[in-house]
């Protein structure tokens, strides 16, 4: 089950955290993994996969740059022959209410979290349709399903991820492309560590405990747990699943 042998899987923001865990798991399941990141951190993920016996290449790409995305996807398809799976994982965060959010903050988050997903998905669809189909998986958030305090701009972008997922799913359900999204609660990643350092200097441990307590299960999730759900949704075992938002939230939505 969950065999991805010889499938080409492109994962954005895979230099660390959830994206790196997804890339590593997909490679273990036989996929040829393409790691996109805005900096050279993707090289480290790719090297670790290759050292473990998997197949991976890294490409530097700013997902908010239309020309860079089009060029990168075109080059990957030319080099590897196809793109079977796209995981839109790249994203950035912001803390603040609407009063604490500047127009520049909003534009910065929109550029990566919304425009980036649009550009990558559009490029992937253009490659997937002629080859007969594929899978797109987007990283949303429970912030796209419920209100999360002081996450105005972030929640706006993740709400857009959710609705773009449904739109892609309904537009291409008859043409062989499935599209779903995952909605995690707090996940322990370097992204979270950086967020704590930036927003709560000197209070990192206190705020980490608060983030853990937010989930009724009593802890944050792990990147590997999110990756396991991603594997299912991108595998042939989920061939009947499209247009869905899957929470992985430690009980937040039922508390």
What's the CA gap between 8 and 32, in Å, rounded? 5
- 128 within domain boundaries: yes
User: Could you tell me the CATH number of the domain that includes residue 163?
Assistant: 3.40.50.720
Q: Could you give the number of structural domains in the chain? A: 2
Q: What is the pLDDT of residue 255?
A: 81
Which residues make beta-bridge pairs with 86?
A: 10, 136
Q: What is the pLDDT of residue 198?
A: 85
Q: Examine the domain organization and report whether 49 and 127 are in the same domain.
A: yes
Q: What is the pLDDT of residue 192?
A: 86
Q: Examine the domain organization and report whether 72 and 160 are in the same domain.
A: yes
- 3 within domain boundaries: no
Q: Examine the domain organization and report whether 57 and 124 are in the same domain.
A: yes
- 246 within domain boundaries: no
- 235 within domain boundaries: yes
Q: Examine the domain organization and report whether 54 and 160 are in the same domain.
A: yes
- Tokens describing residue 154: 């972030």
What's the CA gap between 61 and 234, in Å, rounded? 22
Q: What is the pLDDT of residue 109?
A: 98
Q: What is the pLDDT of residue 199?
A: 80
Q: Examine the domain organization and report whether 80 and 109 are in the same domain.
A: yes
What residues make up the domain containing 197?
Answer: 188-220
Q: What is the pLDDT of residue 190?
A: 85
Q: The whole model's pTM is what? A: 0.96
pLDDT tens string for the chain (255 positions)? Answer: 999 999 999 999 999 999 999 999 999 999 999 999 999 999 999 999 999 999 999 999 999 999 999 999 999 999 999 999 999 999 999 989 999 999 999 999 999 999 999 999 999 999 999 999 999 999 999 999 999 999 999 999 999 999 999 999 999 999 999 999 999 999 999 888 888 888 889 999 999 999 999 999 999 999 999 999 999 999 999 999 999 999 999 999 998
- 1 within domain boundaries: no
Residue 195 annotated in active site: no
- 255 within domain boundaries: no
- Tokens describing residue 168: 């892609």
Among residues 110, 154, 195, 232, the one annotated as catalytic is 154
- Tokens describing residue 146: 């419920």
Q: Examine the domain organization and report whether 20 and 99 are in the same domain.
A: yes
CA distances to 34, 64, 178, 224 from 244, rounded to whole Å, are 25, 25, 10, 21
Write the CB contacts of 159 (distance below 8 Å, at least 6 apart in sequence): 143, 144
**First-residue to last-residue Cα distance in the chain:** 33
Q: Examine the domain organization and report whether 136 and 168 are in the same domain.
A: yes
Helix (H, G, I), strand (E, B) or coil at 53: coil
Q: Please give the biggest Cα pair distance in the chain.
A: 53
What's the CA gap between 9 and 22, in Å, rounded? 10
């Amino acid at each position: 089950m969950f065999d991805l042998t010889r499938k080409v899987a492109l994962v954005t923001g895979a230099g660390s955290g959830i994206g790196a865990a997804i890339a590593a798991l997909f490679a273990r399941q036989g996929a040829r993994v393409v790691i996109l990141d805005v900096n050279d951190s993707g090289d480290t993920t790719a090297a670790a996969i290759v050292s473990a016996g998997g197949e991976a290449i890294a490409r530097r790409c700013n997902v908010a740059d239309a020309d860079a995305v089009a060029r990168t996807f075109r080059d990957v398809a030319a080099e590897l022959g196809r793109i079977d799976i796209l995981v839109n994982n790249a994203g950035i965060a912001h803390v603040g209410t609407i009063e604490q959010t500047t127009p520049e903050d909003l534009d910065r988050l929109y550029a990566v979290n919304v425009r980036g997903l649009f550009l990558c998905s559009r490029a992937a669809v253009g490659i997937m349709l002629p080859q007969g189909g594929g899978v797109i998986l987007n990283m949303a958030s429970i912030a796209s399903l419920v209100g999360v305090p002081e996450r105005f701009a972030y929640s706006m972008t993740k709400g857009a991820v959710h609705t773009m997922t449904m739109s892609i799913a309904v537009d291409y359900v008859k043409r062989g492309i499935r599209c779903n999204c995952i909605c995690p609660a707090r996940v322990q990643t370097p992204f979270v560590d950086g967020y704590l350092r930036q927003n709560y200097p000197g209070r990192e441990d206190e705020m980490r405990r608060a983030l853990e307590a937010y989930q009724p299960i009593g802890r944050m999730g792990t990147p590997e747990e999110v990756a396991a759900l991603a594997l299912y949704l991108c595998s042939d075992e989920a061939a009947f699943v499209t247009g869905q938002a899957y929470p992985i939230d430690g009980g937040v939505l039922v508390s």
